[in-house]
Amino acid sequence: MSMKVYVGNLSFTINEDKLREIFSSYGEITEAVIIKDKFSGRSKGFGFVTFANDEDANKAIAEMNKKQVEGREITVNEAKPMDPNSRPPRRNFGGGGGFGGGRRRF
């Protein structure tokens, strides 16, 4: 079964090909993704690597967590589904407002 690994604190210069290359020695990779800002297209400094089997993923986690990659200590652990309750609340800027409230004189 495949296992997805979270990779954080990446240098902003690392792209998906480089991410795949960094982890390729641990086993077959089915996907390597860098998460990017939807407006600027710039890396957010983290990504995910999906390994074909759990054993390879666990080995990568054990050996790569807290390693220096391009001058940064990366964080590597098993990816967990995002908890919808952990997201910051959406800001509500209110509905349309009224127009005055005072008396009108004709």
- The DSSP bridge partners found for residue 75 are 8
Q: Is the pLDDT of residue 91 over 90?
A: no
Taking the CA atoms of the chain, what radius of gyration do you get in angstroms? 22
All domains in the chain, ordered by first residue: 3-80 (3.30.70.330)
Instruction: For residue 76, give the nearest of 43, 39, 41, 32 by alpha carbon.
Output: 32
Q: Which residue has the higher pLDDT, 13 or 96?
A: 13
Residue found by looking up tokens 């990659």 in the block:
69
Task: Give the model confidence (pLDDT) of 38-87 as tens digits.
Answer: 999 999 999 999 999 999 999 999 999 999 999 999 999 999 987 777 76
Task: Give the model confidence (pLDDT) of 3-42 as tens digits.
Answer: 999 999 999 999 999 999 999 999 999 999 999 999 999 9
Cα 97 from Cα 93, distance rounded (Å): 11
Q: How confident is the model at residue 2 (pLDDT cuts 50, 70, 90)?
A: very high
Q: In the structure encoding, which two tokens stand for residue 1, read together? A: 């079964």
